[in-house]
Amino acid sequence: MLTSSTMQDTPGAEANDFKRDQASLLQELTTESQNEASQGFDTKSALEIARIINHEDVKVPVAVKKAIPEIAQVIDQVARSLRDGGRLIYIGAGSSGRIAALDSSECPPTYSSAPGQVQYIMAGGPKALASAVEVNEDSEELGQRDIARRRPTRKDVVVGVSASGRTPYVVAAVAYARARGAHTAAVTCNHDTPLAAAADIAIIADVGPEVVSGSTRMKAGSAQKMILNMITTGAMTRLGYVYENLMVNVHMQNSKLVERGIRILMKACKIDRETAVQTIKSAGRSVPVALVMLKARVDKPEAVRRLAKSDGNVRLAIEDNVLEL
């Protein structure tokens, strides 16, 4: 594959051939095909437009369901890597990069994970989150440079997110990380792509053509969001940061999250509000510590010790003692 810098040095005829090859490749992608269900879309009423989009969106979870075995593999690998002190690093461009950034940024407030545990790399940098800097996604060199700055190792999982599966920036970054021993995965919406070939595991959600041809922020974007949700939720749950189906590792930094923490403790321990509030206060505003204190009938130092021993796994910390409520 030619890099952007190589292409600049290519004679005119060869450069034109390269452009034609790229155009041909795009036409073959399912995500770039024209959708028969939305023919005459610009002539439809608002109600018809909404119905067409909704009808197509129904296909998203069906496509994601077919990729569950591969998603599960990535969940387990991410959990192992985070447990061993590694990182989950997403890399993407355009809409895919913005979805990766969203999933990464929501892990600390949801699971109290360290900011560096789940990271994202966006083609064009943070400014590309708000403003299109799409030219960067054509550069293999920039993709390699940006992932190299994170120094990926065998402890890390690097996930390339690209609806087309052919974004040079993302493909090059994933290939670089894999060559240095990192575990790699691809999240894409087309089959037989360079990104899938570059990664250890390929998660493919074939959602079909978009309602607006090539607008992969739509079905493809929804599928990617669902998959990334599954990866981080699954990994954090495997690590024990969820108890039953409760967000017990919630980071109580504002009034809404404080209230959520209180309600979680009330539900998990079947106690009244006053008891929950007092226990959280005595636990240093930590729901996991409060939960272990109540469930295992221990004091704060013992609850803290158990959580440290279990690497933050709440259920294991509770079950360290046979006494249960």
Under CATH, which architecture does the 255-318 domain have?
Orthogonal Bundle (1.10)
Is pLDDT at 5 greater than 60 in this prediction? no
Q: What is the fold, at CATH topology level, of the domain defined by 43-238? A: Rossmann fold (3.40.50)
- Between CA 171 and CA 222 the distance in angstroms is 21
Domain limits, CATH 3.40.50.10490, in the chain: 43-238
Point out the least confidently predicted range of 83-92, 174-183, 236-245, 254-263. 254-263
Residue 14 confidence class, pLDDT cut points 50, 70, 90:
very low
pLDDT tens digits, residue range 111-138? 988 889 999 999 988 888 877 666 678 8
Return phi, psi of residue 189, to 5°: -120, 20
Alpha-helical segments (H) within 149-272 = 168-179, 194-198, 219-238, 255-269
Which of 270, 22, 25 shows the shortest CA–CA distance to 138?
22
* Catalytic residue numbers, as ranges: 106, 137
Distance CA 109, CA 254 (A): 10
Q: Shortest CA distance to 203 belongs to which of 226, 179, 181, 237? A: 226
Mean pLDDT check: name the lowest of 134-143, 165-174, 290-299: 134-143
**Weakest-pLDDT range from 2-16, 65-79, 259-273:** 2-16
| pLDDT at res. 4 | 34
Q: Which two tokens stand for residue 287?
A: 């729901």
CA 161/CA 302 separation, integer angstroms: 42
pLDDT of res. 244: 93
**For residue 184, what is the DSSP state?**
E
For residue 251 the two structure tokens come to 């980071």
pLDDT score of 59 more than 90: yes
Task: Give residue 27's pLDDT.
Answer: 65
- The Cα–Cα gap between 222 and 60 comes to 7
Low-confidence winner among 121-130, 167-176, 227-236 (lowest mean pLDDT): 121-130
pLDDT of residue 34: 72
The Cα 211–Cα 218 span in angstroms is: 8
Judged against a pLDDT cut of 90, whether residue 304 lies above it is answered with yes
CATH 1.10.8.1080 maps onto the chain at 255-318
